[in-house]
Structure 1
Amino acid sequence: MTKRNTQQRRHTIVRQLNEQGEVTVEQLAGLFQTSEVTIRKDLAALEKNGLLLRRYGGAVPIPSEMVVESESQKVSNQKLAIARCAAARIRDHNRLIIDSGSTTRALIPLLGKRHGLVVMTNALSVANALRDLENEPTLLMTGGTWDPHSEAFQGQVAEQVLRSYDFDQLFIGADGIDLERGTTTFNELVGLSRVMAEVAREVIVMVESEKLGRKIPNLELPWAQVDTLITDDGIDEASRAQIERSGVTVICAQSNKQLSGE
């Protein structure tokens, strides 16, 4: 199978697993006439989606006692809708920064059809997700001091690394949105976010509408450093107009319907 058939291959892997009770990397590589590296990426992606458990050399089904309810479908659709709008702005060979956060991570599976990407991140979770892509981008890590609150690297070393490059786009989330000032965060370490914005030609904030108006003391990015805000269709017109008056383009992703995967 070709790379265009990744989803079909993964569906078949799940079916084989359900029928046989266990699959091996070697067996699947032979079945699909592809490399074991590709199969391991398939298994990693399927495990992340809660469809199997990896074991040495293969995978087994998830035991029934480990199956739990997923998060609200509404929230899931909001994040996916925002991620789809963000992914539509990315072109082959773009140089990206992807910050830590659950909304920015939702963007990563949608990058699999892009070629020649270069991605810098300060988050191990983002780096691991990028490594699961079949068209794996060139991955750059900031390094620096590990911050357990944000689960990402921060500090002067990370800032110096970022300033050694220039990027087309920054994709960054937020804990809250101050309609008058900009994006806000619970984390007091905001220096790296501002450096990320400085070295990117376009700064794209990805945030759910429920975070608009949250009173959080730490200003992360003032509106002067933000080019585009992508949110869901829960934003009210007054809030949208106020943000746009600050010179920010506001994109409202349609999240009020079931969204199918790419």
Structure 2
Amino acid sequence: MLRLKYFVSFSLMFIFAVMISFQGCQESSIDPEPVGQDTSYSYIRFINSSYNAGSFTDAGGYVDVWINGEKVLTSFDYTAESGPLYNTSQYIKLRSDSSIIVISEMNSTASSIDTIVKFTPTLDSAGKYTLVIPGNKTDWQNLPSGLILKEDTTVVPTTSNIWIRGIQAYNSNGVIPNDTRVDIHIDSDPNFTPNSSTKAATLQFRGVSNYMQYPVGNWTVKITKANDFTTLLSLTINGVGGKIYSVVPSGFSDVGPGAPRIDSYLDN
């Protein structure tokens, strides 16, 4: 009888231990992510190419940028010309499916956001994007389509080449924006005169060119008004193999503090 009781007790303990072990295995196999949670993200950077983006125009068009209620850029400045990033941000991680972006007046707070424009962009998962605040504030205030949102390539050129693209954020006087067209001229001679053979692209206001490939080296980019070979803006890109450059003419008037400027941004 003692042996039988011992055997029964041992058997029950063994079965109980197996049940506990089985339950533990079930719990450890549960997906740690809540059901239905979307874990896809994209990346976006901002370029302030609008001199009067905010009310503080004398200070250079400062704005704040918010993503899903969190301020990610404070006093984002059009005229900044120091530091490694100038008037561009680094790439910022955000949800692909439901991120709300707000560009507001400077010094806004979470409890009182002075919104200039608000929108929810459609982004591809793991995509990289550049959002440019262009031209005159009236071109995009309360008008998300007035901003320039472009997906950046995730492919890179070979080490013997560079890629250059143009982003047209310059709007002359804010008059008939779509008629503000520019030609982009590119040549290895820094003293070249723009002509029909050096013209690489023609862009309307808010237009973005394709990536254009050039051998590694120094390339001078000159901006003219469309079909006019008089240089409006110029810069030289010291091209490093495998790198991608975005050239952005900015501003909204021909003279004065909002006069056009040109910047080159490294995309990778």
Shorter-chain TM-score range: under 0.3
- Of Structure 1 and Structure 2, which has the larger fraction of its residues in helix? 1
Tell me the TM-score normalised to structure 2 length. 0.25
Larger-Rg structure: 2
- Of Structure 1 and Structure 2, which has the larger fraction of its residues in strand? 2
Tell me the TM-score normalised to structure 1 length. 0.25
